[in-house]
Amino acid sequence: MQLVFTVEELKVLADTLLECEARARHQANNPVTPLLQKVLARDLRLGVDELEDMEQMLKDAAARLKCELDETPAGARKDELLRRQEMLERVIDRVTEACVMA
């Protein structure tokens, strides 16, 4: 299945996978690195397993972002996080849709 994202969505996806890779570097079977390489190369032809891995990583990142939002006081930083959350939700919706269709 090939995914299509806007430039902003692709940036959020790449940033999120970079964060996930930093968290998973010490793991023996790290699924993040191959996904990150594909996203950075803009090669979004993904298999079912890759889509499912990506969906789970994005949902985990969204949960972490929600916690960060809950702890952040109102202001510019919170507005930035809210924009990121909105974009991340759109990316999750597209990946989830691709999982269902695959």
Give the pLDDT score at 2.
67
Which residue numbers in the chain have pLDDT < 50? none
Give the pLDDT score at 30.
80
For residue 84, what are the CA distances in angstroms to 2, 4, 11, 62? Answer: 23, 18, 10, 9
Predicted model pTM: 0.90
Give the pLDDT score at 1.
62
